[in-house]
Amino acid sequence: MEKILNELNPSQREAAEHIDGAMLILAGAGSGKTKTLTTRLAYLIGEIGIDPINTLTLTFTNKAASEMRERALKLVKNKASYPPLLCTFHKFGLLFLKFHIEKLGRSNTFVIIDSDDKKRLLRSIAKELKIDLNLSFVASEISKYKNSLLSAQIVKEKAELPDYKKVAAVYERYQANIEENNLVDFDDLLMLTYKILDENEDLRKETSLRYRYIMVDEYQDTNELQFRLLEHLVSEHGNLCVVGDDDQSIYGWRGANIRNILDFSNHFKNTKTVKLETNYRSTEPILKAANALIEHNSTRLGKKLFSQRGEGPEVKLLHSLDEAHEAKAIAQEIHALLDKGVNPEEIAVLYRINALSRSLEEGFSKEGLGFKLIGGMRFYERAEIKDIISYFRVLANPHDDFSLLRIINKPKRGLGKASIEKLQKAAHEEKLSLYAFIQKNLKTELPAIMSKKVAHTLHMLMEDIHILQEEINAALGNFITLFEERIRLKDHYAGMSDGFDRILNMDEFYGYFRDCVIKNPDLTLDEFLNDITLQSDQDQVEENTITIMSIHAAKGLEFEHLFVIGLEEEFFPLLGEGCNMEEERRLGYVAITRAKSNLTLCYVDSRFYKGRRKMINKSRFLGEAGLIQDASLKITKASAFKKGDLVKHKIFGIGRVQAANKSGKEYKLLINFGGNKKEILSSFVQTI
């Protein structure tokens, strides 16, 4: 064991040899946190003699749990008779409920429903209650409530706005339904586990005494419920070791609460803090930029990364005219790297928002450069883009039944599966295309197949198609504006949890279409669609492929040669309502620290934005990282709170932020506590 400990640096060894009490391992990017965590577990079991059954290590992915288990057991060798429990939070909840759910009066034969099952049930309830809300929005809100330990009754009492009252009604019926049918959704795995421990003191003590040494990986990604659950699990001994990096907390949008790691030493007595600041991944110039950027955040514990690798190439800036020139320039640089024998797996291009992948995919294809898109679909394969293309295909050829069936109820027109099948059958019997049948029988046959209301909406669809076809023939350049006015496809996606990204993708596509028309005034819709088809159906080249991915998807990965595109205001950082500048900056920090030796940050003079080409300013992050000296670049510090956040006050309870305004060194928040609106300084509340 001594040999293994000697392989650690002083800070890592200090953390690995700590035994009792609370400990925060503040682990910077590339600082060997997994090695430290697994060595500590092996030290407890193989050196101190802690029974593996008394340890519990919690992670966020099965892959991480599996890797850590394998590494820890390899270090322990034959000293453990059976493996320690390393699993995700939700796997732990499942195991716990199998033994103890009867304490809630339920059977352990419960069935876990997945997200599709959940939406199907919500759809049925919404229909029964005659509530018209986007199901993704409803599902997301219910998930937030459960992870904030808000019962349906509390939500119902606190709901003020009409939409939230509707969500509360659906939530109440949904929860009653799954309990009656002994179902458990993903969020229940933790919520019910917490509830059982909270209501049964003897069991809480017994469980805490069983798991005497608890470790948590990626602690900065925990939410309110996970924090409360950990409080119960360590209540009898306080032996909680967490590993995380507040500077890499990038999942606030899905419920992660950065305050958990920032306030760890306040929550748990006599906390020992160990900082892992030696970076084994990146060269000094890369870390210099990362350190400079993240120092502009005010809500952080503070640490500075030092490179074990030493000096390397300076961070490069790539300035292009527009996204097409950007993609071409990057492709050419990658070609040069491949010609030198660089492994394509060591090359990646990252972006902040999915819409930016379109220009990369297209540019790389034109340059004959193979690539793979990770963490998302190719641009033309996304549902919202397929919908637009299907509309375009119907306009070019109304008798394309395949495309018409895709969009006939998008946006929703009250057409159910049964009604569509009746239409198809009737059209087939008359040997007509679906479009031809509808056109022929609008005033006669359709009312016999479906309600007059639905027949009327189909009539309106036919009218929209006719008007848009006339516009195509008259002026293709003005077509998009009329298309969105008539079809209102954006409204269909706006209420979804990822609606913002989807609309950006649609605007990117609209802008690309306009650009094609400007460059080729004689372009026909058929020609445009043929070009799109060739691009979207192009076979992926297996060899010599580089990686294109979002920054969120890249967390935890590393690449020898890295390009980050879109370093412009409004793209990276994102601006506007709901955007958190400190989290944007943390995303920048994560992006930069993915690079090992060569980092290129890219920005352009103009880019498509909301469907139109726009001159755009380079990102403030370039100045904050010390890469550009430019007086026009903004250097900002922002509130960690944004409109819509659920927060908790020790006296007023739970409320929703309605506004955040600078007030001295912190922010003044306007918070709605169930109808009681208060202005509270941000340091007196916590996000949940």
179 included as an active-site residue: no
- Does residue 217 have an active-site annotation? yes
Concerning whether 226 is annotated as a catalytic residue, the answer is no
Residue 347 to residue 606: CA distance in whole angstroms: 25
Annotated catalytic residue within 12, 34, 226, 283: 34
The tokens for 456 are 């009327």
Overall residue count recorded for the chain in this entry: 688
The string of DSSP codes covering 604-618 is ESEEEETTEEEE-PB
The C-alpha atoms of residue 673 and residue 685 are separated, in whole angstroms, by 12
594 has catalytic annotation: yes
The yes-or-no answer on residue 508 being catalytic is: no
C-alpha to C-alpha distance for 627 and 35, rounded to whole angstroms: 33
Q: Rounded to an integer, what distance in angstroms lies between the CA atom of residue 494 and that of residue 389?
A: 19
Q: Which pair of tokens denotes residue 564? A: 């980050």
Q: Which long-range contacts link 617-623 to residues 24+ away (Cβ below 8 Å)?
A: 617/568, 617/569, 618/319, 618/567, 618/568, 618/569, 619/567, 619/568, 619/569, 619/571, 619/572, 619/573, 620/569, 620/573, 621/293, 621/567, 621/572, 621/573, 621/585, 621/588, 622/317, 622/567
* CA atoms of 167 and 176, how far apart (whole Å): 14
And the tokens for 301? 């514990």
- Catalytic residue (choose from 185, 187, 188, 218): 218
Angle at 195 between CA 191 and CA 197, to 5 degrees: 120
- Judge whether 218 counts as a catalytic residue: yes
Distance (Å, rounded) from C-alpha 196 to C-alpha 101?
8
Q: Is the separation of the CB atoms in 46 and 81 below 8 Å?
A: no
Cα separation, 22 vs 267, whole angstroms: 10
Q: With the C-alpha atoms ordered 135, 136, 139, 144, is the resulting torsion angle positive or negative?
A: negative
Q: Which of 281, 288, 358, 594 is catalytic?
A: 594
**Separation CA 332–CA 308 (nearest Å):** 31
CB atoms within 10 A of CB 247: 29
Q: Which of 141, 187, 188, 217 is catalytic?
A: 217
Backbone phi, psi, residue 473, to 5°: -70, -30
Interacting residues of 228 by C-beta distance below 8 A, sequence separation 6+: 149, 194
Report the catalytic residues: 33-34, 217-218, 248, 594
